[in-house]
Structure 1
Amino acid sequence: MTRWMTLGCTAAVACGIAGISHAQAVATASSAPTPAAASQDNRMVLADNESFLMPLDDAKNAHPSYPQHLLGQNLPPRIVCLRVGIDEKGAVTVVARAPVSEMCPKGAEPEFLAASETAARTWKFDPALRCVFRNTKDKERAVASCDGGKSVPQAVTLVYRFRFEQTDGKPQVHVIGG
């Protein structure tokens, strides 16, 4: 079953988004399939005795800078979406433009994309974890952790949205979820 991966998800229930730092809630498995790992569309599927913990971003991860030469144009807000691949050690391995969608419109100036890519390539994370428990009761006791189970670092891809805007002539860049 294709599913969203957030804290406390089970294989039987598609989970919603709650409290995920900066990232849109789509995370896809990037490693080789394991008994619970990836389905045909490369999204992780968890067994009933497994849970997933999103990667934690480093507080020092810098936001992109608003391109200075575009400030005088007083452009309306622009959205740039990136797919960011994070490996089992928490390092960024891939940064690429995310597909166009309702939440990720087309048309931002290339300078905004370049600024977003430059910042994202410097980011660091504590890796995502697939938590494997002996049974579902152990999983339920863990409450958003791998306590009592085995922590398996997991490579993931996340979608980040960057909103570039000017407020009272001052540049602002917000990293927002989907």
Structure 2
Amino acid sequence: MTKWMPLGCAVAVLCGHAALAQAQSAAAVTSAPAPAPAAGTAAQGNRLVMADNESFLLPLDDRKNVQPSYPPNLLAQQLPPRTVCLRVGIDEKGAVIVVAKAPASEFCVMDAEPEFLAASETAARTWKFDPALRCVFRNAEDKKRAHASCDGGKSIPEAVTLVYRIRFEQVDGQPKVHVIGG
């Protein structure tokens, strides 16, 4: 499995109570209420504050996940690039449970025809992931030694919502689709 690198409007949010990872400034989104934070973590408004001995790993997408297709009926129109932003809710098992249009933001201007949104939603509903993980270590030193992994700590799968920016464009008359985020 490979992780799509977060760029632009990527946001990860623990369902119901926390934004854990932000690639750049973007509005946090939430889903269904989540259980109370574990010992050592604290919910603070709409953010989860991790303890010194905790870290968070974003979910990894399956290499077989398909990108949206450029709608064939729009090819002849030779449209300028269009962008769609989606909120994709992923449960603690890595299954997609929610796909919805994300609100417009400075990182995601919503300028796309409905066909682009439909193609994006259709593809996203088929995606699969390794779940996001909250890693809990005995102490902060163990966390540092793990270096972007849960090695030596306890892995706790977490439900998250990710925002993906999907850019549709034509290059030399050929459709190109770029999925950014996660």
Could you tell me the TM-score, scaled by structure 2's length?
0.82
Q: Which residue of structure 1 aligns with residue 147 of structure 2? A: 143
From 144, 152, 156, give the equivalent of 2:156. Answer: 152
SS at match of 2:49: coil
Rounded to whole Å, the distance in 2 between the matches of 1:120 and 1:37 is 31
Rounded to whole Å, the distance in 2 between the matches of 1:89 and 1:46 is 21
Letter in 1 for 2:86: L
Q: Which residue of structure 2 aligns with residue 108 of structure 1? A: 112
Letter in 1 for 2:169: E
Letter in 2 for 1:122: T
Q: Check conservation: 1:22, 1:160, Cα contact below 8 A.
A: no
SS at match of 2:109: coil
Query: CA offset at residue 172 of structure 1?
Result: 0.9
Q: Which residue of structure 2 aligns with residue 131 of structure 1? A: 135
Identical amino acids, percent of aligned pairs: 71
Question: What residue ranges of structure 1 are gaps of 5+ in the alignment?
Answer: 1-18
Q: Which residue of structure 2 aligns with residue 33 of structure 1? A: 36
Q: Which residue of structure 2 aligns with residue 70 of structure 1? A: 74
Rounded to whole Å, the distance in 1 between the matches of 2:76 and 2:89 is 34
Letter in 1 for 2:152: G
Q: Check conservation: 2:82, 2:168, Cα contact below 8 A.
A: yes
Q: Aligned pairs, how many?
A: 159
SS at match of 2:152: coil
Q: Check conservation: 1:27, 1:158, Cα contact below 8 A.
A: yes
Rounded to whole Å, the distance in 1 between the matches of 2:86 and 2:64 is 19
Please identify runs of 4+ aligned residues in structure 1 that moved more than 2 A: 22-25, 37-40
Query: CA offset at residue 21 of structure 1?
Result: 1.4
Query: CA offset at residue 107 of structure 1?
Result: 2.5
Q: Which residue of structure 1 aligns with residue 24 of structure 2? A: none
Query: CA offset at residue 20 of structure 1?
Result: 5.8
Tell me: CA distance 1:53–1:37, structure 2 relative to 1, closer, same or farther (3 Å): farther
Q: Check conservation: 1:55, 1:90, Cα contact below 8 A.
A: yes
